[in-house]
Amino acid sequence: MNVLLVEDDTSIAIVITAALEAEGFSVSHCQTLAERDSMLREGRFAALVTDVMLPDGDGIETIDRVREHHPQMPIVILSAQNTLDTAVRATDTGAFEYFPKPFDIDELARTVRQAAGAAQGQTIGEEPVIEGLPLVGRSAAMQSVFRMITRVLRNDLTVLILGESGTGKELVAEAIHQLGHRRSGPFIAVNTAAIPAELIESELFGHEKGAFTGAVARHVGKFEQAAGGTLFLDEIGDMPMQAQTRLLRALQSGTVRRVGGREEIRLDTRIVAATNKDLEPEIAAGRFREDLYYRLNVVPINMPPLRDRPDDIDALARHFLLHAANEGLPRHQLTPQAGELLSRQPWRGNVRELKNFVYRLALLAREDVIDVESIVPLLAQEQSGANGESTGGSAPYGEGRAHGASASIDAAVEAWLAATRPASGTIYGSAMAAFERPLFAQVLRETAGNQLRAAQALGINRNTLRKRLGELALDPEEFARRP
Ligand SMILES: Nc1ncnc2c1ncn2[C@@H]1O[C@H](COP(=O)(O)OP(=O)(O)OP(=O)(O)O)[C@@H](O)[C@H]1O
């Protein structure tokens, strides 16, 4: 069986060809769309494996030309642009499979074998593509999230999104809605943990007038409001038992009944649920219904914590800087070293914490180009818990790791070493000088520039202080309080 490979990167083409040949295929290779079209006219191929960005155009946009003459031919798409948008564009073509680069070459070869074996082709999706979804993720872990998203867009399978707080669960739910076949309907999000237990059923299922004291009018519940669209049930792990039972009944029967009502209303909504709780222990402890878990967990999507995908951090930080600027904050850029430093932080509050941090940075940074020096003090604050509300999340992190002030000094030292890289043999001297400057500045601030009191507080000789201040170009006058 012959496979046509369209790939302009010769070294990648060589590797793929070898893997496909090992799988028993013969491979015809070309580098442009024009060559692709002419080879397809002339030869017979069991499958097409194509890159997206080619010298004479886009491998996805021009797939219609292939489909016209070869409607049944399985197509496997390879792409270096690992955005959700590309994943969706690729699957919208009805491609057999989409591989973001870098990919596992053996998996690719196996997939082509499967595709050629099945050789049944698929129809071209009719759905237009929504550009510019704000889901950033180039890590392998996020690429598999994107793949899962593309698999549920044309069906109504229930999706359960699992992951720590701030990992992007709600954003993924929105993406499923906006890109899916129900996008013209509403997206209704309910935080089940935020609703008082006694109101939850009425919130979800609605109530009839007079159903209970205070029910002065009929209320249409979230299930009905979401008709034709998507219902996002957030924090499902915190739902009270009784509401769980009613939810299960609704999912089983495909109908809801308003509280105090008799009419059975057919469900017409895709359900996406999410939780940051590990549901299995909740089930074991009798706090979450096992049968409901199985009902919801049809398609699980696991959101990896940010610390497990450091490859995403630089791109996310740049994305948020851009957003901050679009929202009227000063426009900044990030140096590669600064991006690298951010990528090494734990971000216990995940993407939410990073986002808040970047917005604060955008607000506070004085330079247009943000380098390590602007980040270190803010990071130190972040890690000493000064911005506790922004760290969010209950996720356990790094047992045995230093906390509080010592953690912030650790982080500052690590960042400083990474950024300045003093020559071997000079590290101690440079580090002491780097540490002395902010230390002296702080003590001078506290003593309003009084050198005698500063020297006493520091426990050093006044002349030594004066000499060091000169060497460090610190002017005590600057710390004198102005009236
Ligand atoms: N991959 C991503 N790309 C861009 N922005 C993201 C991404 N992931 C998360 N965010 C942003 O981070 C913030 C937190 O995300 P989101 O609210 O979706 O998290 P969550 O997992 O639902 O959190 P919680 O469990 O606390 O509800 C949001 O502002 C969201 O837009």
- Closest ligand 1 atom to 312 CA: 1
- Give the alpha-carbon dihedral of 451, 457, 463, 464, to 10 degrees: -120
Number of domains in the chain: 4
Beta-carbon neighbour count of residue 295 at 10 Å? Answer: 18
Tell me whether residue 66 is in a domain. Answer: yes
pLDDT at residue 29 in the model: 94
Q: What single-letter amino acid sits at 193?
A: A
Domain residue limits at 332: 306-420
Give the rounded percent of residues in the chain with a pLDDT score beyond 70.
89
CB 101 within 8 A of CB 82: yes
Considering all CA atoms of the chain, what is the largest pairwise distance in Å, rounded to the nearest integer? 91
Please work out whether the CB of residue 355 comes within 6 Å of at least one atom of ligand 1: yes
SS3 101: coil
pLDDT attached to residue 130: 28
pLDDT digits (tens, 9 = 90+) for 208-262: 888 787 777 888 899 999 999 999 999 999 998 988 998 999 999 999 999 888 8
Q: Which residues of the chain have pLDDT under 50?
A: 120-132, 386-404, 483
Quick check: is 391 in a domain? Answer: yes
Which residue of 145, 355, 394 sits with most ligand 1 atoms within 8 Å of its CB, as the best mutation to test the pocket? 355
Q: Are residues 457 and 386 in the same domain?
A: no
Picking from 393, 420, 447, the residue at the C-terminal end of a domain is 420
370 in a domain, yes or no?
yes
Task: Count Cα neighbours of 270 within 13 Å in the Cβ-side half-sphere.
Answer: 29
Ligand 1 centre from 293 Cα, in Å?
Answer: 23
Among candidates 182, 166, 164, which has minimal Cα distance to 174? 182
ipTM entry: 0.98
CB count in 10 Å sphere of residue 284: 10
Q: Is the beta carbon of 433 within 6 A of some atom in ligand 1?
A: no
Q: Is 350 in the pocket of ligand 1 (CB under 6 A)?
A: no
DSSP code of residue 152: T
pLDDT of residue 339: 94
Instruction: Answer yes or no: do 310 and 382 share one domain.
Output: yes
Closest to 172 measured CA to CA, from 278, 253, 84: 84
Same domain, 328 and 388: yes
Ramachandran class of 166: left when φ > 0, alpha when ψ lies in -120 to 50, beta otherwise:
left
